[in-house]
Structure 1
Amino acid sequence: MTRQQVSKSATPDEKIKTTPDTSHPLSTSSVNQIMDRTLSNAFPGPPVEIKELKSAFISIPQEIRDMIYSYLLVNPVLGQAASVSSETTYGNTQKYDLDTAILYTYREGISILYKNPMFIDCSNSPGDWNFQDGIFDKSSLEIEEDERNGILEPLIINLCPLTRYTNCEPKEHQDKPLFRNTPNIEKVENWNVLLSSFYPSNLSSNAFAEFCVSVSPYPNISLGIWILPTIFHEDQTDTDSKSFVFDEGIVQSLLPLKMMRKIKRLDIKCAEIPMIPDYCYDRDDHGRKICSADLSVPDLPSPELISEYDKLTSGATPIIECLGLLGAILGEYFWLFHCAEIVVIDRDFVGIRRNIRVYDVSIRPPEAVDGGLVIQEDEQSFFDCADLVTAIGDSPLENTETAEDILRFKQYRGELLKVLEPGYQDVRASSLKFREFLHSESGPTGIFVIGPSKAVDRLDYWSRVTRAMEALEQYEFSFVRGKTEQVRLSLAERNKYLVLAYDSVESGKLMKKIAWAYERSEWKKLIFYYKIAVGRMEKLYFKLRWCRADLFKWDISDRGSDLDTHYDVVEAIVWPEPESNAQLDREHIMEISKGETSDEDLDGCICVWSQGDGDDDDDDDAR
């Protein structure tokens, strides 16, 4: 039995075809010689002892071999023939020797598998392409977790765990695996990547950037990129309404190629799609079709990019990371803190701000002034966080950063994270403390379960409600960190270039509603607004954790920093089911609110409920 030469497929989904030749039957000794030669070539070292081989790898059915191929790429490499699996039964560990034929099949399969192109989907596609009546269903881009936490990360189908979605199986954001940790990716020589244009601000991850970071250290890689236009998702069937133009997002999508310094071969072309979009026609200024384009020649979004790719892939100095992606995450991290906004006033060059990309920490490290972040490039120019991120994000492909620039930026980013780390730890500690308080008041007699009418000691009950208000204010204050008018004046006296502006983490109207309900002992309204406020702060806290963890994954934790992610598991708050008697609650409210401040004190606050609110459940609650 002989094995035919495996050809390299030009298409990503073409399967490996191997057929046995039974015209020349071989003896058992001949088969053993083939096995020994294969193993010695693929895996130098002591050969695997094969006592008896009933069937060779190529005689296994194709569907089973496909399953083996998938397993090889996403699982760790097996060890010697003595590798064991274990099962604990009644405290005793049972060990089983790994079948020698399975180990041989595994090792033989590796040598076949990695000679073939590997398909990776980095297109941020909706997964199963949910088209209904020719219309793309945008709801397929979202899942409940994304909507609940205010993030957008579409379903992505991949051969490997490239994003938090593997084969349309959603995973929690914190469980998103790193593609660089996938075993055996260094053995792959041919990658076929499906890519689409996107805007980093709309997504919480960049699969193609993570792919480039993972494979950039390995030499002699052949990379084929098929570009799928974003417009195809939404207007796939509407070819006459408007012409197709590659949007600016495609430039951002291709920026991670700056990391690839050891590419052997690079092919970029438009992906084949079921229908031909209108970009196949040239149009005049009035939108009229002029002539059809030549579809036989693969084309890039811009002819100028071809020479740029030659520069990027032929240099000796490695470009380490993509600044646009990191800048977007960094900007999100700053915004979630609601730090004081630093407005720059350059007295010498009014209206002119230089477009910086990196920061020289040798001039002046960033400083925290009561939560505000002061960033200085030189003695004459100052920049706030938003300006810095905008400058980093708006980096066209032709403006290639040097390795020194990026190393300085990474050092600067580490300094920024150190400045913000105490603030994050304050938020984290406040969140844990707030959760302990909620847990203590979620029992059968907790204030979030029973109303004041069911309280044994009403004075004690409202004292606990007061503590709930204080706990909420402390949790909010951990985000804000106390910006006062005195801080503004103090900063203005020390530095003539900066003006400090402040935005609260919570809207004033919502906190005013909570205070209004608290003053009038409106228990149901108080709890209603209270839960909304907690939900908003929890959303900010979880986003902080995600952004911070992503930043640490890209650089900090890999390089021995003294910062720690502290990414412990935090469960979402589950509120207990309230029990109340609406009639007794209203009588209690009327009794204790006599002589209280009138509603005129809340002029301008949208907190007036209709007279019928809360009356629908009178019959159910009355006893």
Structure 2
Amino acid sequence: MMNEKPCEALAADDSIKPSDSKMESMSKMNIDELRSTLEESLEQVRARKTGSLFLDLLPREIRDKIYQLLLVNNIMSTPRVLHGWGLQNDRVGEFELYPVMLRTSRQIYYEASTILYGDNKFIINFNQNDGYSSPLLRFEHTAYGPLDGISRFVRIKKAKNWRIILTACKYECRVPDYDFGNFCRMICDEKLMSLDVQLLPRGKCISAYGFPDRDFKLKYHDVKDILNPLRFLRDVSKVKINEFPWEDLPFFASSGVERSAIEPYNIPEVFIQELTELVQGTSIPRLIFKMFECLLAYAQTFERNPYFQKQMRPEWGVRQQVLMRENIRPHGDIVHNPYTHGPLHLVELGLKWASMAAERDDIDMFLQARNDTLEYLERQYQRIVTASRMISDFAKENKIDGGLFDANHGSSEPFETASAAQSLVLLENYANSFDRESPGITENYIRSMQCSYDAFYASTERGALLGKLGKALEAASGIGGTYLRETVFLDFAKTFKLLVDNMDTQYFEIRSARKMLYRNDDIDYPSHIDFELWRCDELIDWTLNEPFLGPQISDAAEKPEAQDNGGGDGYDSDESDHNDWGP
């Protein structure tokens, strides 16, 4: 139905109709001339049009007006859109928006998304002890398992206008609120147009479930602590911090709410003004949480077990329901993580203190925790560097013609098992350098579960390849062989290369994370780590042999009997080429 009126309007527009002279000339054309004229017209259309009548015929101003009609609704900032969820937490009500049009073309997506995320004001509610909700997220979040989930909603970064609902009630939240803190961390790098922060009033327990609490006296956090995550934000055009309006309270309490039962927070005007000026200003914020993420990423590269690696992120600040906590089993036979069960490993302990400092915005506490963690990891890093250099030197010595790693399909001579054993020892030393250094109490706990602990690492690609090399070498030595057979030799060399690449990959991941350790630091913070930028962080190229760096021996020198056939001393005109070699 929407297409009929534009068509009628186009038909009624005389400026679009061809003139009488054009009609007369077209009537005199034969079929070929008419076809040629039509093809020329189509070529002109292709040259200056996108192929979409919507984009070609309508100016940008009209298109923006259409986008606003289809994608903007003031209801997105009201509490009524926070309710009406289905049995599976899916949205039951309709927002009367049509974001599906963003899928029609790339140009429409860029034009319309600017309207959708820039002209709408989205409400988000942190006033509940089981997560958060917003129409922009489409689903209500519940706290079953670790709550890292809000960072998954990338669309949060696109919205430019927010209405944030908070509460200071201790029954409903903790300080600082983990979800609200993560929300502010996500948008701290975005240019926001407006931010309207509203606190639910004190008095009865105004709950998202709609049950005013009359049974016990409610306690409240300090409002300054509740609003503290806002200090991550800068350059926000409009900032408003106040209490939740009375007319919207019924959406948070199904029964009657008496105005006499409501107590204002009486937030100091000086504090509101200072926080507002800070958020609207352009000063550089101190983002300790970004510094912590760099430290965590570096520490995690030293751990190969993906489950242990995941658990290196501290649980401090991660709200979990006790009965619904995610049960992470590192391995079928490993019940507990030896680095977190009982007394924490020193690295995990340092990460925990660093995480606490990031939440408290305590830079001195963070720098101390980071230095302790890096100092402990530095010893292992230096062991890895030394082992990597030794294996690299060995590979270069044998990546030549006739060597173990000859790029031209292997050695032409049988390879001694003694040399193979030497290469395997160097390789095992390299692999052992990645084993995490642990204090005595952690080593004791690992020893109590040694079989299951070793079983996991033996089942990885690295462990399987090491076992394969060891069995091949034992088989060759067991039958009294001094040399590896050609088939065994080629397989040994191939497996060796795979192992070196596997361990070099982890080593380069450590190096890459190491270079990013101080990426988010201020220049005033001390750095105690040498990035060693002169090191080469590239995998060995096994397809090319190392160049020969010594003097080249001519064919004449290798075959002196051929020199006597021509008479004389056999050097002739080539004598000058070797004058610099000695007398």
TM-score (norm 1): 0.34
Q: Report which of the two has the higher share of strand.
A: 1
User: Looking at CA atoms only, which structure, 1 or 2, has the larger radius of gyration?
Assistant: 2
Report the TM-score, using the length of structure 2 for normalisation: 0.36
More helix by share: 2
